[in-house]
Amino acid sequence: MKKFILIILLVCSLSVISYGQIQTNENSEHTKVLGLSKKSDWWFFLSTNGEIDFISFFETVNSFSEERAAFSTKDGKWGFIDEKGDIVIEPIFTNVYPFLSGLASVEINGKWGFIDKKGDFVIAPIYDHAYSFQEDAAFVKLTGKWAIIDKKGKFLAAPQFEQSIDFRENVAGALINGKWYFIDREGKPFIKQGFETIYYFSEDLAAVKINGKFGFIDKKGNLVIKPQFKDVAYFKNGIVAVLLKGQWGYINTKGTLVIKPQFDKAWPFNKGVAKVKVNGKIGFIDTKGDFVIEPQFDDAYHFSYGLCGVKINGKWGYINEKGQQVVSPEFDKTFPFSKITDSSIK
């Protein structure tokens, strides 16, 4: 009966959702890529050929990460489904984070721990809070302070930090006595100087705030771009968005402006294009600053597998890299396409 209802819903949905041909070069025979969209109370999982892969009826569903997607029920409990839409971990958790490095951080009975993809605890729920593993290390909170543990739950650094920033490029951030420091896996600062604010390292450079302005340092602590910006993003493809005199532009790793400040908001580049906002509308530019897709969207994600979720007149759809509409804007919400890799997928 359930499958019959889903088939009827699928046919009805196809009558109101228009699709174009969606292409991606990042698929293989062992890889599945799904987009996620919500319409009324139904969640549609869209495959890259423009068809509905499956439909689920949950309160909330998040994007897939490592073959699992978190979902919530009306009573606020969270569990996980697999790439077929089947419930593989029952909804018994108060909060969850996505699977990373094979483990997911979950909250149950007011405490946080880590489960594997079968839903079994591999690190017991004893923490006040716990973030996902990044580069095989995770920040957990005990007695009001943050610590670092490995995947066996062993302390790499004892509880001592006021706040934390996850590991990127083997470097994390920690707030110590009101100053932010870059630390290693053992919690030791490898740059002596503390800063007002820090962002994580990307392409060997990190933003730091000194006297109210952002600049960039390398991993030796050398200031390579002097503090002069009100706000910044992170480097991608050798370029970073910066806020200067009220407008956003882009500089290179030497601090030279490569795209003059002219945008209301700007985001990092991804495969040669970046999302920017002009006069309240979002479009996409190339590395020369020329628009490849004119500003026309109320909101948008970044491109993922050649597709981008965009919002028009209060509804979400998908466009391709040419700006062509491939899924009409009829959804209440969308998420970027994400990859699911599983040896069982043929």
Note the pLDDT of residue 13: 43
Cα–Cα distance for residue pair 336/307, rounded to 1 Å: 8
Tokens of 283: 């479009």
Rounded mean pLDDT, 127-148: 96
Note the pLDDT of residue 53: 63
Mean pLDDT (the chain, rounded): 86
Lowest mean pLDDT among 187-191, 256-260, 303-307: 303-307
Place of tokens 């009100």: 230
Give Cα 58 to chain centroid, integer Å: 21
DSSP H or E run through 14: helix 2-14
Note the pLDDT of residue 144: 95
Residue 146 pLDDT greater than 50, yes or no:
yes
Rounded mean pLDDT, 172-194: 95
Q: What is the per-residue pLDDT across 74-124, written as a single tens digit (0 to 9) for each? A: 899 999 998 888 899 999 999 999 999 999 999 999 999 999 999 999 999
Complete edge-to-edge strand list for the sheet that includes strand 265-270: 265-270, 273-278, 281-285, 291-297
Residues 306/321, Cβ–Cβ less than 8 Å? yes
| % helix, strand, coil for the chain, step of 5 | 5, 60, 40
Place of tokens 């994600």: 301
What φ, ψ does residue 328 adopt, rounded to 5°? -65, 150
Residues 97/81, Cβ–Cβ less than 8 Å? no
Q: What is the per-residue pLDDT across 8-52, written as a single tens digit (0 to 9) for each? A: 333 344 333 433 333 334 444 444 556 666 676 677 777 655 566
Note the pLDDT of residue 346: 29
The residue among 277 and 34 whose pLDDT is bigger is: 277
